[in-house]
């Protein structure tokens, strides 16, 4: 029997995945305005397709739609991630020298993350910022855990190269 999905299903899907998809699009684009805009499009598309969607493949489908919409956007500007650094916000009682050093390190890290290759960057950030397990990431992207591990190692290696010698 065909199950017709309604507003409740859609709202639950939205609540569950909104941040993941928005963050993923941010990791791809480095542009929060574009990321939020495209996230709307992802869910509009999901609404249109809802009766054809198999719940078991919903997560990878959302990521796939997000990536396709991103690839079809107008020519993108150079990626420049600007995460909100809550450590800096929490350290207001620290000395100005410490804060300055922290901000400098933060700036270098955001640059280094922006420079990571796309797949490596998105996988690394989904794991570190969204706390996604390797298995979850593998499921979302339709790749093996081995492939996720490989991208994670690559990200760590590239970051290590940048930071080990420049501290």
Binding site residues, other proteins, CB under 8 A: 11, 14-15, 18-19, 22-23, 26, 32-33, 35-36, 38-41, 43-45, 47-48, 68-69, 71-75, 82-88, 90, 102, 105-106, 109, 117-119, 128-129, 156, 159-160, 163-164, 167
Smallest separation (angstroms) from other proteins to the CB of 96 = 19
Q: 34 or 139, CB closer to other proteins? A: 34
The three-class DSSP label of residue 78 is: coil
Smallest separation (angstroms) from other proteins to the CB of 134 = 17
Which residue, chain included where needed, has tokens 């290759």?
117
Q: 59 or 124, CB closer to other proteins? A: 124
The three-class DSSP label of residue 165 is: coil
Q: What is the DSSP secondary-structure string of 7-24? A: HHHHHHHHHHHHHHHHHH
d(CA 144, CA 18): 24
Do 63 and 141 meet the contact criterion of CB atoms below 8 Å apart? Answer: yes
Smallest separation (angstroms) from other proteins to the CB of 71 = 5
């Amino acid at each position: 029997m065909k199950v017709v999905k309604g507003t409740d299903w859609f709202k639950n899907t939205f609540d569950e995945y909104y941040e993941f998809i928005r963050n993923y699009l941010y990791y791809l684009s480095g542009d929060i305005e574009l990321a939020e805009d495209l996230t709307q499009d992802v869910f509009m598309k999901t609404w249109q397709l809802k009766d054809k969607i198999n719940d078991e493949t919903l997560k990878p489908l959302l990521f796939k739609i997000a990536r396709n919409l991103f690839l079809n956007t107008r020519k993108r500007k150079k990626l420049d991630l600007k995460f909100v650094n809550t450590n800096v916000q929490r350290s207001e009682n620290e000395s100005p020298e410490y804060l300055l050093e922290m901000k400098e390190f933060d700036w270098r890290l955001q640059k280094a993350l922006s420079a990571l290759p796309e797949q490596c960057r998105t996988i690394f950030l989904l794991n570190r910022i969204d706390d996604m397990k390797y298995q979850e990431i593998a499921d979302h992207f339709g790749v093996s855990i081995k492939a996720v591990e490989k991208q994670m190692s690559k990200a760590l290696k590239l970051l290590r190269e940048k930071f080990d010698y420049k501290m």
